[in-house]
Amino acid sequence: MTQAQETAFDQSTVDRAQAIVARYPQARSALLPMLHLVQSVEGYVSQDGIRFCAGQLDLSEAEVSAVATFYTMYKRRPCGEHLVSVCTNTLCATLGGDAIYSTLKDHLGVGHEETAGEPGTPGSITLEHAECLAACDLGPVLQVNYEFYDNQTPDKALGLVKALQSGDKPAPTRGAPLTDFKQAELQLAGFFEGRDADLDGPSAAPETLAGAQIAQERGWDAPAMPANAEFPALPEKK
């Protein structure tokens, strides 16, 4: 183990890693949260982080790398204090997501998965395109460290990013109070460090609940599932 590894992954990180493993009947199932744990320490998944996960889970480095490079939530370059994800999928793009991304790109002087400022330092921002953020009823949307900022415009998004750069943490539209990228990653690994109240933040907006409210007001119900429903036979495999 190198000195860099000893510094990055200290005993408290090892203890957390083992606590993650203990949640699962098979150790390899702990890989996804453990990669988040690595990011909470380093701000990305380095090759040292790959080796750390492999050693903790008795996996090969190739097996860990295959997972870390498959999911876009695991970053292969150091992230800024804040990760700003702009939805540019079809609906958000049409409603203004492309314009928002272009405005932030010009302001920060960076492109996709690039960082303005020294990674990890106060006010540094990593910008990325995001595929669907599952908030089409509130588009265009963006996320900061995976917390939602709904109904955005280029001007609102620019003001948000400038506030982040100056050290402010504007409240998300819904969800937990804003923290930084590393703290968000620690929570994704399952450790809230005294921030358990973050789970109580509002998760649904009025727009999301409008259909259910109308159905309730009008007494609409989905048909009940028959007690003995017959399902068609599966086609024979050849």
Average pLDDT over residues 90-103: 96
The side-by-side arrangement of strands in the sheet containing 147-149 is 114-116, 125-130, 82-87, 142-144, 147-149
Look at residue 228 in the predicted model and tell me its pLDDT. 86
Q: pLDDT at position 226, please?
A: 84
User: With pLDDT > 70 as the criterion, what percentage of the chain qualifies?
Assistant: 97
At residue 237, the pLDDT reads: 82
Residue 72: name the closest of 129, 142, 16, 26 by CA. Answer: 129
Reply yes or no on whether the pLDDT at 230 is more than 90: no
Residue 1 has a pLDDT of: 45
Class of residue 44 by CB neighbours under 10 A (exposed 0-12, middle 13-18, buried 19+):
buried
Residue list for the binding site for [2Fe-2S] cluster: 87, 92, 132, 136
Question: For the residues 139-144, what does the mean pLDDT come to?
Answer: 97
CATH 3.30.930.10 at 82-180, yes or no: no
Average pLDDT over residues 8-31: 95
**What's the pLDDT band for 227 if we cut at 50, 70, 90?**
confident
pLDDT at 2: 43
Question: By mean pLDDT, which of 128-142, 152-166, 185-199 is the weakest?
Answer: 185-199
The pTM of this model reads: 0.87
- Of the pLDDT bands very low, low, confident and very high (cuts 50, 70, 90), residue 200 is confident
Write the pLDDT tens digit of every residue in 25-64.
999 999 999 999 999 999 999 999 999 999 999 999 999 9
Tell me the average pLDDT of the chain: 93
Q: What is the pLDDT of residue 236?
A: 85
The sign one gets for the Cα dihedral 76, 77, 78, 81 is: negative
The annotation places the binding site at: 87, 92, 132, 136
Question: 19-42 b/e with 16+ CB inside 10 Å = b?
Answer: ebbeeeeebeebbbbbbbbbbbbb
Mean pLDDT lowest for which of 19-23, 141-145, 205-209? Answer: 205-209
Asked if CATH classification 1.20.58 holds for the domain at 11-70, the reply, yes or no, is no
Tell me which amino acid residue 97 is.
G
Using CA atoms, how far apart are residues 46 and 35, in angstroms rounded to an integer? 10
pLDDT at position 4 is: 41
The domain segmentation of the chain, as residue ranges, is: 11-70, 82-180
**Span 182-199, average pLDDT:** 90
Q: What's the confidence (pLDDT) of residue 7?
A: 55
